[in-house]
Structure 1
Amino acid sequence: MTIQKPEKTHGWRGSADLWVDAAYQMLLDGGIDAVKIQPLARALGLSRTSFYWHFTDRDALLDAIVDRWEAKNTGNLVARCEAPAETICAAVFNLFDCWIDEGLFDARLDLAIRNWAQNDSALQPRVAQADKRRLTAMVAMFSRHGESTGMAETRAKTMIYTQVGYYSMQLGEPLSDRLDRMPPYVEVFTGKCPSAEEIAIFNARHRSAG
């Protein structure tokens, strides 16, 4: 685990975001049991008491991590589903931005939260609610483009289950290979073949990252 110790002046206690950043990294590297106050303080080069200037207890810190996950992963996924698109293929390409851009959707965090929820009954409803928001947004996306309610839900669930399975398996697929497969994925998920222009627009957003 690599946590960058901050530059600090005498008496500095860090910030709430700094503690959440460090806790996030510990969660990714070691799971929820690794997220503990004293190791966090040690990694940051701060005192344990500094933590309590920002959080009442460890549970409050964990809530902040989940809040970040909901705002970033679920929030951005919903926003991409709601982005303007003239066709369903263009709409799905908008959603696929989440699967390519870690700034929009953090797959490692999503997996860590799901693993955590398996043994935390209090977290399970929040994960279920987030999944419901995602499904609702994806169903609405298909419905706006003329899909029947039943088929919209089936197509949306197929995409969700495929993506969760993808990052759960940690395939490590090269970006160029993943981008090459995106147009066929769009056709599989929508039943329609994306146009050359739609493919070019999507590639223009992401090919430079490769």
Structure 2
Amino acid sequence: MKAPNNLAETAGRGSLESWLNAAYESLKESGVDAVRVMPLAKKLNLARTSFYWYFQDREALLEALIERWKSKNTFNLITQSQAYASSITEAILNVFDCWLNSDLFDSQFEFAMRSWALQSPEVAKEIAEADAQRVEALRHMFDRFGFAHDAAVTRARSIYLTQIGYISMKTQEPIAQRMHYIPEYLKIFTGVDPQPHELERFYSRNGFTAI
């Protein structure tokens, strides 16, 4: 990727971020085949040649999309799994924030990446590596609270595969319905009932009021 030396050079060319954002939206809306220079130029109302001010070619743009996905979804999930918690229930609820806050984890982006992987061995490899990193981070989360190795692994896998199932199936449900099931999910994943104050904090920070 290239960057302009000053603001004057960006006139009529947009910006690196604008091209990347357009590619990101096109990937989510229509898949990787829609991420091409000419359609993006039309979307941005810019000349096709402007693209090459920022990216060497389409492959460079696709690589930038992969890096954005890693930074947003994988990094944030791992960070949430490492956040302070006084119990395993609170630790899992920190991770659950990812499923409810698109600033932390973009489920549409995740679905688009996994769809792309079906036609690209290179992207499939990136997905496999990310899956392994995420499950390992969740396993470490259980380790922190004294779970035996096999229990930590199976619980980590259960949490992760459940959410990937939600994404892959494009599951849609009202927020109230999803929140209604949270206590039972927690009991399945931890073996203990969540405390009311743990749920209240989770609901509050996700803008939900339990009835």
TM-score class normalised by the smaller sequence: over 0.9
Q: How big is the alpha-carbon RMSD for the aligned residues of Structure 1 and Structure 2?
A: 1.7
In 1, are the aligned partners of 2:90 and 2:198 still within 8 Å (CA)?
yes
Counterparts in 2 of 1:205 and 1:10: CA distance versus 1, 3 Å: closer
Choose 59-68 or 173-182, whichever is displaced more. 173-182
* Residue correspondence of structure 1 range 32-181 to structure 2 within 5 A: 32-181=32-181
| Deviation of 1:207 (Å) | 2.7
| Deviation of 1:209 (Å) | 9.1
Which residue matches 1:14?
Answer: 14
Structure 2 stretches lacking a partner, 5+ long: 1-8
Choose 184-193 or 77-86, whichever is displaced more. 184-193
Q: What is the alpha-carbon distance in structure 2 between the residues aligned to residue 73 and residue 11 of structure 1?
A: 32
What TM-score do you get using the length of structure 1 for normalisation?
0.92
Q: What is the alpha-carbon distance in structure 2 between the residues aligned to residue 20 and residue 183 of structure 1?
A: 39
| Deviation of 1:31 (Å) | 0.8
Counterparts in 2 of 1:188 and 1:29: CA distance versus 1, 3 Å: same
Counterparts in 2 of 1:103 and 1:13: CA distance versus 1, 3 Å: same
Choose 136-145 or 180-189, whichever is displaced more. 180-189
Counterparts in 2 of 1:111 and 1:209: CA distance versus 1, 3 Å: farther
Which residue matches 2:31?
Answer: 31
In 1, are the aligned partners of 2:88 and 2:142 still within 8 Å (CA)?
yes
Q: What is the alpha-carbon distance in structure 2 between the residues aligned to residue 55 and residue 185 of structure 1?
A: 44
In 2, are the aligned partners of 1:81 and 1:141 still within 8 Å (CA)?
yes
Counterpart residue type for residue 167 of structure 1: I
| Deviation of 1:11 (Å) | 3.4
Q: What is the alpha-carbon distance in structure 2 between the residues aligned to residue 151 and residue 187 of structure 1?
A: 14
Counterpart residue type for residue 100 of structure 1: L
Percent identity for Structure 1 against Structure 2: 42
Q: Runs in 1 of length 4+ with deviation above 4 angstroms?
A: none
Structure 1 stretches lacking a partner, 5+ long: 1-8
What TM-score do you get using the length of structure 2 for normalisation?
0.92
- Size of the aligned set, in residue pairs, is 202
- Please state whether the residue corresponding to 2:206 is helix, strand or coil: helix
Q: What is the alpha-carbon distance in structure 2 between the residues aligned to residue 130 and residue 14 of structure 1?
A: 32
In 1, are the aligned partners of 2:139 and 2:153 still within 8 Å (CA)?
yes
Cα offsets for 1:135-175 (capped at 9, x unmatched): 11100000110111111111111111110111211121111
In 2, are the aligned partners of 1:77 and 1:105 still within 8 Å (CA)?
yes
In 2, are the aligned partners of 1:186 and 1:193 still within 8 Å (CA)?
yes
Q: What is the alpha-carbon distance in structure 1 between the residues aligned to residue 10 and residue 87 of structure 2?
A: 57
Q: What is the alpha-carbon distance in structure 2 between the residues aligned to residue 77 and residue 24 of structure 1?
A: 19
